[in-house]
Amino acid sequence: MTDVLDISEVVRRTGLTSRALRFYEARGLVAPLRTNSGRRLYGSGELERLSQIVALKRAGLTLAQIQ
């Protein structure tokens, strides 16, 4: 996938909230690209990482352990 998605599309596709995505970014778990105006853009690497985070959380790991 070479396309990038904005935060609203990532929310729609993953079921995560925009607040959770911003929190994961603040914790250093994902690093979306930023436009000049500051909008977050998620590529395939970030989407894969979000999938890993969700799977590891379901397995019982904390965000500190995932980090």
- Give residue-wise pLDDT tens across range 9-27: 999 999 999 999 999 999 9
Task: Tell me the CA distances in angstroms from 43 to 56, 59, 60, 62, one per residue in order.
Answer: 20, 25, 26, 24
39 pLDDT higher than 90: yes
Residue 32 three-state SS: coil
62 pLDDT higher than 70: yes
* Average pLDDT estimate for 20-42: 96
At residue 36, the pLDDT reads 95
At residue 2, the pLDDT reads 56
Q: Look up residue 36 and give its DSSP letter.
A: T
The pLDDT mean for the chain works out to 94
At residue 1, the pLDDT reads 46
Contact 47, 10 (CB under 8 A): yes
CA distance 34 to 55: 26
